A = this chain, B = another copy of it.
Amino acid sequence: MSQTTTSYEKQIDKKIYAEDVLLKQQQAAKAILDVKQPSKIITFGGDCSISQVPFDYLHGKYPKDTAILWLDAHPDIMTPQDFDHEHAMVLGNLLGHGAPNFAKTVQHPFTPEQVLYVGLVEKSLLDFETDFLKAHKLSYLTPQELASSQSLLQWLTNNKFKQFLVHLDLDVLTPSDFRSLLCNKPHQGPVDYAVGEMTLAQISRLLLDASQVADLVGLSIVEYLPWDIINLRNELSKLPIFK
C-alpha cells in the first residue's frame, strides 16, 4: 500500500489509501439505504467520499431529471494516477471514472450534463483537472458568477431538472467566513491547493433560490475540520486529571 501523501505527486502503485475499509463502509451504507428506502437523505461527513452511496441510491430513486450541485473549491475527479486519497475521486466515481474499484459499485451513474460545480476556484485548477472538465464538458460557476442566483437557476430550469442533490464540501467557503477547514490549520500558513471564496450566507441564498425551482432531496455536508476541538483535546489529554 502506498504511503499517505498530501501532495499530488504521481502515485507509483496506484492503490487507494485504506481502500478495503472504505469499500466496506460504503457497502454498509448501501445496505442501510436498501432496507430503509428514504426519499430524502442528509449526510454529515466525514470526507467527500460520503456522498457516493447516497447520491447513487437517490439517482435510482429519481432516475430522471435529477441534478447534482457540487459545491466545492475542487472538482473531485482525480484518479489513482493522480493521488491516493479516494475523497478527491468521488464525483469521478459517480460519473463512471475516478477510482475503478469504487466506480464499479455505482449502480446509477450520472452523466456530466447532470452536474454543475458551484463555487469552483477556477484559477487553482490543476492541468489534468482542467483537461477532464473540458473533455467531459462539465459545467461550473465560479464564486464571481454566483454573486446572483440567476446563472444557477437558469441552468436548473434550462435543463428541466425536477430534483437536485447537493454535495456541500465546506472548503467551498472562505476561511474568513468559516474557519474549520483543512486549509486553516493553526500556524499552517498558505496551502498549495484551492481555497474557497464563498460565504455561508451566499450558499444558503443559492440553495434557497434553487429550492424554488426544484426539490432538494439529497444533501451531504463534508470536510468539517474542527481544529480547535482536536487541538484542545490533544493538549489537555496530557494532564493527569484526564488519565
* Interface membership of A231, Cβ < 8 A: yes
For the complex, is A235 an interface residue (Cβ under 8 Å from B)? yes
Q: Are A242 and B187 closer than 8 Å at their CB atoms?
A: no
Give Cα A242–Cα B176 distance, bound, in whole angstroms.
26
Our pick among B204, B207, B228 for the contact of A179 (Cβ within 8 Å) is B228
**Cα of A216 to Cα of B186 in the assembled complex, Å:** 28
Q: Taking A186-B177, A227-B179 as contacts, is the C-beta distance between A200 and B241 under 8 angstroms? A: no
Point out the residues of chain B lying under 8 angstroms from A42, CB to CB.
241-242
Residues of B within 8 A of A133 (CB): none
The digit string for A18-39, where 1 denotes a CB below 8 A from any CB of B, is 0000000000000000000000
B178, B208, B231, B241: the one contacting A228 at CB < 8 Å is B178
Across the interface, which residues of B come within 8 angstroms of A241, CB to CB? 40, 42, 216-217, 219
Question: What's the nearest-Cβ distance from chain B to residue A211, in Å?
Answer: 5
- List chain B residues, Cβ under 8 A from A236: 204, 219, 221
In the assembly, how many copies of this chain are there?
2
A190 on interface, CB distance cutoff 8 Å: no
Choice from B200, B201, B208, B231 contacting A178 with Cβ under 8 Å: B231
Report chain B residues within 8 Å CB of A64: none
Measured CB to CB, the closest approach of chain B to A219, in angstroms, equals 6
| Closest CB in chain B relative to A149 CB, distance in Å | 14
Which of B184, B207, B211, B239 is A211 in contact with, Cβ under 8 Å? B239
Residues of B within 8 A of A240 (CB): 211, 215-216
Indicate if A238 sits at the interface (CB-CB under 8 A).
yes
A203 in contact (CB, < 8 A): yes
Closest to A232 in B: B200
Q: A114 at the A/B interface (Cβ < 8 Å)?
A: no
State whether the Cβ of A180 lies closer than 8 Å to any Cβ in chain B: yes
Q: In the complex, which residues of chain B have a beta carbon less than 8 angstroms from the beta carbon of A187? A: 176-177
Known contacts A176-B187, A177-B187; A204/B40 CB under 8 A: no
The answer to whether B177 and A208 have CB atoms under 8 Å apart is no
- Find out whether the CB atom of B186 lies under 8 angstroms from the CB atom of A239: no
With both beta carbons as reference points, the residue of chain B lying nearest to A235 in the complex is identified as: B204
Which residues of chain B have C-beta atoms less than 8 A from A231's C-beta?
A: 177-178, 200
Name 5 A/B residue pairs within 8 A (Cβ), A-sorted: A176-B186, A204-B236, A208-B238, A216-B240, A221-B236
